[in-house]
Amino acid sequence: MLLVFVAMPVLAGLATYAFLRRRLAIGPAFSEPSPTFQPVFSCQHLLSGSISDGLAMAFYPVILLTLDRLCARPGPGRASALGFAIAALLLSHNVSGPILIHS
C-alpha cells in the first residue's frame, strides 16, 4: 500500500512533465514539482488513507497526456490508451465521472 502512495505523485509528476514539455516546451522547473510536492499529496493521502483521491489526482495528467498524443497522431493504440486512462480514473474515483462525461 505504501508503494501506491509513493507511486501516485511520481506518476502525476512524470505525466505533467511530459504534457507540459510537449505543449509549452518548458523544462522540469515548472512542471515536475507541482503535483509531486503539493501538501495534498503529502498530507491528506498519507494521513487519511484516501487512495481514491490520490489516484484521481494522478490520473488527470495521464489523461491529458494521452489525449494530447491522440490529437497529435490519431490511431487505435493511442485511442485505447486514452480509454484505459479514463476507465482507470472512473474505476478509482467515481465522483470524477460527471466531470469527464457530459450529457
Please state, rounded to an integer, the average pLDDT across all residues of the chain. Answer: 76
Dist. CA 12–CA 53, nearest whole Å? 12
* Other C-beta atoms lying within 10 Å of the C-beta of residue 93: 21
Answer whether residue 93 shows pLDDT above 70: yes
In angstroms, the first-to-last Cα distance of the chain is 36
- The band of 79, judged by pLDDT with boundaries at 50, 70 and 90, is very high
* Other C-beta atoms lying within 10 Å of the C-beta of residue 88: 16
CA dihedral of 55, 58, 61, 63, whole degrees rounded to 10: -30
Poorest-pLDDT segment among 18-22, 24-28, 72-76, 80-84: 24-28
